[in-house]
Amino acid sequence: MEAKDKSLKFLGEKKQLTVPFFQRRYVWKEENWDELLKSFEDSSIKPFLGSIILKEVSGEESLIVDGQQRLTTITILAKAIYDCLPDTCKTPTSGTRSYIENMLFYRVNAVDDFKDSHIRIQHSKIDADDYNTVIKAQVLNDESIDLDTISENSSCILRCYKYYRRELENRGEDALKTLFNCLFDGNRKVIVLITLKHDDVNEQTIFDTINRAGIRLSTADIIKNNLFKNILDKCRPFTDDRKYALEAYEEYWEKTFYSKQEISDLWDRERVFGNVKHNNLEFLLYCVACIKWGEDTDMFSKLETVFDRETASMGFNELINLVKEIKEYADIFKKYILDLEKALEDEQDLYFRYDDKIRGLLLILQKFGIQMFYPYVIMRLKEVNQNESDPQLREDFQILESFVVRRKLSPKGTHDYTSKCYEIIKHKIGALIQSDLGNRDAGLTDADIKRYLSNTKDDTAKMVLFWIELRRRRGDAYDINALEYNYTLEHIMPKKWKTHWSEVPIVDGKTVYDKDSDDGIHYRDSMIQSIGNKTLLKSSLNSAVKNADFMTKIKGIDGRRPGYDQHTALMLTRDLVAKSQTDQNWDEKHISDRTNQLFGEFVQIWPSFADRVQVSAPISDEDPNIDQFTQEQLSDAALLAEIL
């Protein structure tokens, strides 16, 4: 290993500089681009850009172990300066043209024509196309770059180029040349170039160490690096193992997570877990760890350690198979979870049917903000090869859905969902029936649910009513049996009831409260939150109608502010309009009756499965009557024990 202070002219001394596969893509943003530009704008100050670490692979090629973000940005800046210069500075004999050719390109042979040159920095696939486009434009080819086509959705490489072009386009020729000279001034030693020889320490170990110290790698990056380092370390000599390992990286990791900028951005997108954030790729790796290796206290915080520990003893083929398995889970995770999340977020046309058990469960998990059962979900989908018609899969998801919805209604939180997920991964979904759905002490019995439905939160009530509506439309008897989840929740008796509803008696069974009494006010306020007092509308009512008396809410005001009778696309609301034809009142008794009706439909959609609970025979202090057993039973101890 050797270290020397160098100017950026060192680029012209090298041939191919390759960004190795274990490096992450180019991620610098505007604040980084701006800082680099400003560091070279004052010619009286010599900036220091830190160390660049290269490892010699051959006489022709070196790997960029550390510094690819800086080198990429420097070369894009140089190209942007060149492209902003007038054409008179770009003739084949000009000094600027010679510098650009020498710094950004190399010839394999000294006698080669420039048209046969190669780009000096070879990026990994995700960045290669855009970087090559920027560097080649109007130097190795006649194509120009239309800056107007570069948007916030474009790659960081293209956005960096556009940023520098916009910053430099109004500067004069002399200012541009001065900046270019500052960039490549041989007397300005702005970096320390560390060169590792071929037999020096493993380059990925150094890269990992550097980035751990600088906290620049994500957990997912470190797991990936360690995983593939382990694979390369397990390569057998005199075989094609190394070649196969690199091919496996390209096929199962690069294509899955970094094939396009939007794919890479999707996996980099953060998810919130309490007060902690993890990106989608980290969460996927967490799911894989849960499925394969079971419960580990605070798995997220030590995910790197878990992967290192569990993969340390794996052989080459086992590790390759693990990578393949991660890819399979990633495909499922994206298809069923990430794509649904994006469709809901973008408000795409997304329809749900009552018998759509897979997407139905995922909609509920998504809207309720429940993520910790995703490991079980993707595990089961993989086990059945994504056969959504598999009867056992549908039943298992139905049980999980019942648990989630019932638990959402209950006062219990989600603090134990991680351990619940581990439990059903290990012992199958029946464990959830035994421990919760069929357990009287878990607070999820039908009697408990009936009580909870008398005081529902709006987001939960909206989901429950949506699926009750879908259940009413099940089968082919209805023209419309699929609906979007885009309805508004409406309180029939409004929260602001005192203005137009104060003359409606407050009735609790046979008790009629004084409208001004604390007990009466409290009782009415609580009944307003019953699910029987809620319905769904395609759009919100006008505020004057929303808070009006019952029949005004049904008919609207002056035809200009519609009521329920103009929102009868849903059967839930249509029934209310039909009811008003014979009964123009709405009070606590009506709310209670409708709550009971909706409860009956609820338990059909989300049963408790209590009938499946295995009940142990009660222990008796009395000796059994042996006369009830046959001689065969008495002679077989195992059979007798089972009967008892």
Highest mean pLDDT among 210-224, 244-258, 412-426, 625-639: 412-426
Model confidence at 635, pLDDT cuts 50, 70, 90, reads: low
Q: What is the pLDDT, as a whole number, of residue 634? A: 53
181-202 mean pLDDT: 83
Q: Which residues of 48-80 are buried (b: 16+ CB within 10 A; e: fewer)?
A: ebebbbbbbeeeeebbbbbbbbbbbbbbbbbbb
CA dihedral 231, 27, 66, 125 (to 10 degrees): 50
Q: What is the model's pLDDT at position 570?
A: 92
- Bridge partners of 506, per DSSP, are 513
Please tell me which residue, 295 or 245, carries the higher pLDDT value.
245
Q: Give the pLDDT confidence score for residue 201 in this predicted structure.
A: 52
Rounded Cα distance between 52 and 297, Å, is 39
Most confident of 117-131, 172-186, 370-384, 602-616: 370-384
Quick one: pLDDT at residue 214? 43
Percent of the chain, pLDDT > 70? 91
**Distances in Å between the alpha carbon of 93 and those of 28, 99, 117, 125?**
34, 11, 17, 34
* pLDDT band with cut points at 50, 70 and 90 for residue 642: very low
Dist. CA 604–CA 606, nearest whole Å: 6
Phi-psi map region of 71: left, alpha, beta (phi>0 left; psi -120 to 50 alpha): alpha
625-641 mean pLDDT: 52
pLDDT over threshold 90, residue 515: no
Q: How many CA atoms lie within 13 A of 621 on its CB side?
A: 0
Read off the pLDDT of residues 323-375 as tens digits, 9 standing for 90 and up: 999 999 999 999 999 999 999 998 888 999 999 989 999 999 999 999 999 99
Name, of 76-90, 267-281, 506-520, the range with top average pLDDT.
Answer: 76-90
Residues 6+ apart with CB under 8 A from 254: 21, 124, 125, 126
**What pLDDT score does 118 carry?**
94
Give the pLDDT of residue 212: 45
Question: Model confidence at 639, in pLDDT bands (50, 70, 90)?
Answer: very low
Check pLDDT > 70 for residue 266: yes
Better-scored residue on pLDDT, 127 or 270: 270
Q: Which two tokens stand for residue 610?
A: 């209590």
CA 419 to chain centre: 21
The pLDDT > 90 percentage for the chain reads: 63
Confidence check: pLDDT of 284 > 80: yes
**What whole-number distance in Å separates Cα of residue 20 and Cα of residue 58?**
14
pLDDT band at 204 (very low <50, low <70, confident <90, very high): low
- Structure confidence at residue 481 (pLDDT): 84
| Cα separations in angstroms, 278 against 227, 273, 301, 303, 363 | 19, 8, 10, 11, 21
Could you tell me which residues come within 8 angstroms of residue 568 by beta carbon, excluding any fewer than 6 positions away?
574, 577
Identify the pLDDT of residue 611.
86
Sheet strands (E) in 241-374 = 270-273, 276-279, 351-353
The answer, yes or no, to whether residue 75 has pLDDT greater than 90, is yes
* Sequential DSSP letters for 50-61: -EEEEEESSSSE
pLDDT at position 123:
87
Q: How far apart are CA 271 and CA 276, in angstroms?
A: 8
Q: Which helix (H) or strand (E) holds 518?
A: helix 518-528
Average pLDDT, the chain: 88
Say whether pLDDT at 295 is over 80.
no
Contact indicator for 386, 332 with CB cutoff of 8 Å: yes
Helices marked H in 410-506 — which ranges?
A: 417-427, 430-432, 446-452, 458-472
**Per-residue confidence at 626, pLDDT binned at 50, 70, 90?**
low
Q: Kindly report, residue by residue over 442-498, the tens digit of the pLDDT.
A: 999 999 999 999 999 999 999 999 999 999 998 766 778 889 999 999 999 999 999
Residue type, 517: S
**Band of pLDDT at residue 436, cut at 50, 70 and 90:** very high
Dist CA 620 CA 292 (whole Å) = 43
Rounded to an integer, the average pLDDT of 120-137 is 88
pLDDT at 614: 64
Which runs of E-coded beta strand occur in 529-604? 534-537
SS3 category, 18 = strand
Output the pLDDT for position 72: 96
| 640: confidence class by pLDDT, cuts 50, 70, 90 | very low
- The half-sphere exposure of 369 on its side-chain side, counting CA atoms within 13 A, is 10
Q: CB of 188 within 8 A of CB of 48?
A: no
What pLDDT, on a 0 to 100 scale, did the predictor assign at position 23? Answer: 73
d(CA 225, CA 231): 10
- Mean pLDDT within 618-635: 53
3-state secondary structure 209-265: HHHHHHCCCCHHHHHHHHHHHHHHHCCCCCCCHHHHHHHHHHHHHHHHHCCCHHHHH
